[in-house]
Amino acid sequence: MSPQDVSLTSDSADETRAIAAALVSRLPVSLVVLLLTGLLGSGKTTFVQGIAKGLGISGVIASPSFLLMKDYFEGSRPMRHIDLYRLSHIDETASLGLVENLHEEAVVAIEWADRFDLRIPAPTVKVSFEKGNAEGERRLVFSADTEVISSEKLNALCAD
C-alpha cells in the first residue's frame, strides 16, 4: 500500500454499496475506469451495485460473467460493467470491444481487472477487495492518480 492509498472497512453489503455510491459522486464527470480486484465473493459486484445506485441506475445489477459486458444508460451518466473472470487470455478481450465506443462521461467498472495487463487510455481508480476478519467485513483499498480523485476525497468516503 502506497502513502496515497486509502483503506476503508465495510461491515456489510449495504455499507459497501454506500461507499461505492459516495465514491462515484466524487469522481470527475469524464471517462473514469474502476479496476476492481479481489477474491471470489469479496464484494466486487456489490460495489458495482453501489456505483449504479450512485448514478441513479435502477434495476438488478448482476455480474455479467457470461455476457462479459453490460451497458447502462438510464442514470446520470453511462456505466459499463465488465467481468473478465471467464477469460483465459488477453487476446480474447481484443475482439470483444470492451473499451471501445465509450461515452466521454462513462464510468467503467471492470471486475477481475488484475487477470490481464489492461492498457486503457483513461484515468483509473484501482479498488482492491479483501475479506475482513469478521463475518461480512471487507477491506477496500483505493489507489488513484490525484487528477482523478484526491486522497482527501477518498478519505472523506469514511464520513459518508
Extended beta strands in the chain, E state: 6-10, 32-38, 69-72, 79-83, 107-111, 124-131, 138-144
pLDDT at 88: 65
Half-sphere exposure of 5 (CA within 13 A, CB side): 12
Is the pLDDT at 90 greater than 70, yes or no? Answer: no
Using an 8 Å Cβ cutoff, are 80 and 5 in contact? no
Band of the pLDDT at 84, cuts 50, 70, 90? confident
Residues 6+ apart with CB under 8 A from 107: 24, 27, 32, 34, 51, 55, 77, 78, 79, 80
- pTM, entire model: 0.88
Cα 13 from Cα 20, distance rounded (Å): 11
C-alpha cell at 140: 477496500
Least confident of 11-20, 79-88, 94-103: 94-103
Is the pLDDT at 83 greater than 90, yes or no? Answer: no
Using an 8 Å Cβ cutoff, are 16 and 10 in contact? yes
Using an 8 Å Cβ cutoff, are 157 and 30 in contact? no
Residue from 101, 100, 105, 45 nearest 75 by CA: 105
Tens of pLDDT, residues 24-33: 999 989 989 9
Band of the pLDDT at 144, cuts 50, 70, 90? confident
Using an 8 Å Cβ cutoff, are 8 and 159 in contact? no
Return mean pLDDT, the chain: 84
Stretch 37-56: mean pLDDT: 94
To 5 degrees, how large is the angle CA 41–CA 45–CA 48? 150
Domains of the chain as residue ranges with CATH: 6-158 (3.40.50.300)
Band of the pLDDT at 115, cuts 50, 70, 90? confident
Band of the pLDDT at 160, cuts 50, 70, 90? low
pLDDT at 129: 95
